[in-house]
């Protein structure tokens, strides 16, 4: 692991690192904020998954999470959104919603993406092991959140691993990718035509098929240009109501899809995670 930068912030450290990933077969960059803590302490960790066209840098530079993480004693980790580098296949038309920057937090099964696009394995297995070896985290206290495509990832990974993630939240997530253009394009490209496989990476479908967590927190801007076509939070509301999952879904007036929106409600989400992580 190579440290690219290390900066003092709110009494803790903001670190950006690069390493060679076995999961993706590429170099991957991630950021970690470590709050001030007593020597030898192991701290709860919140994973933040970013959205389409983003890298670790978007939330690191715009998320405004460090002050509250320092106050609450939370480690905050932001991985990249896809593999990158020479030989990594991209959308043939260079579109932002597939390929580089758009890994959708799944493991591809279709060529040519199967070789590198293994973001689910990377986020669930490889990166946590690396973080636990290099930083003072307690992997028995993990929460996960994310924005847009990353909100999709947070919901699906959280629902699929309820014993690992004790808190799950999302900002403007793609809640039912099987039913919207972004998800349909990605799933067809990475997973093929098997709709049963699609359901394993779709939060609404997972809930319909029996996945359960005690509670979810979701914030959504009501001025988000992607709200009605791509995000469709009402489908999550209906699925949670049917399943008895305690969903707090807040439509925030006047907010769009930007990091101005994410940063405005970051404090609420981190406090919500801290309450559940102890």
The residues near 51 (Cβ < 8 Å, ≥ 6 apart) are 58, 81, 146, 147, 148, 149, 150, 151
Q: Is 66 helix (H, G, I), strand (E, B) or coil?
A: helix
Place of tokens 């970013």: 50
Active site residue 202: no
CA distance 261 to 31: 21
Taking every pair of Cα atoms in the chain, the longest distance, rounded to a whole number of angstroms, is 51
**Catalytic residue among 148, 201, 269, 273, which?**
148
- Are 181 and 230 spatial neighbours (Cβ–Cβ below 8 Å)? yes
Pick from 171, 151, 47, 54: nearest CA to 102: 54
CA distance 220 to 147: 10
Residue 132, CA atoms < 13 Å, CB-side half-sphere: 13
Residue 216, CA atoms < 13 Å, CB-side half-sphere: 36
**Catalytic residue among 56, 116, 147, 257, which?**
257
Active site residue 152: no
Place of tokens 């990933």: 21
DSSP-derived letter for residue 138 is: E
Tally of CB atoms within 10 A around 102: 25
**Catalytic residue among 169, 224, 269, 273, which?**
224
CA distance 20 to 179: 35
Active site residue 201: no
Q: Name the token pair of 211.
A: 């996945």
Residues annotated as catalytic are 148, 224, 257
């Amino acid at each position: 692991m190579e440290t690219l930068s290390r900066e003092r912030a709110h009494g803790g450290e903001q670190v950006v690192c690069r390493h060679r990933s076995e999961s993706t077969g590429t170099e991957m960059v991630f950021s970690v904020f470590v709050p001030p803590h007593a020597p030898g302490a192991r701290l709860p960790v919140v994973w933040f998954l970013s959205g389409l066209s983003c890298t670790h840098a978007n939330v690191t530079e715009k998320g405004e999470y460090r002050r509250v993480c320092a106050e609450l004693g939370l480690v905050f980790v932001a991985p990249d959104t896809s593999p990158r580098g020479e030989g990594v296949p991209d959308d043939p038309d260079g579109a932002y919603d597939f390929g580089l920057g758009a890994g959708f937090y799944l493991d591809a099964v279709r060529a040519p993406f199967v070789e590198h696009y293994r973001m689910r394995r990377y986020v669930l297995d490889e990166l946590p092991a690396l973080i636990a070896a290099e930083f003072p985290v307690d992997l028995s206290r993990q929460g996960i959140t994310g924005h847009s495509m990353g909100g999709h990832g947070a919901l699906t990974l959280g629902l699929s691993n309820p014993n690992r993630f004790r808190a799950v939240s999302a900002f403007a997530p793609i809640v039912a990718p099987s039913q919207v253009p972004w998800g349909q394009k990605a799933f067809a490209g990475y997973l093929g035509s098997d709709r049963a496989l699609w359901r394993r990476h779709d939060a609404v479908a997972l809930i319909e098929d029996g996945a359960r967590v005690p509670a979810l927190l979701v914030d959504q801007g009501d001025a988000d240009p992607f709200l009605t076509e791509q995000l469709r939070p009402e489908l999550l509301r209906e699925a949670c109501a049917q399943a008895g999952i305690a969903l707090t879904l807040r439509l925030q007036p006047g907010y769009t899809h930007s990091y101005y929106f994410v940063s405005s409600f970051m404090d609420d989400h981190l406090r919500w995670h801290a309450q559940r992580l102890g």
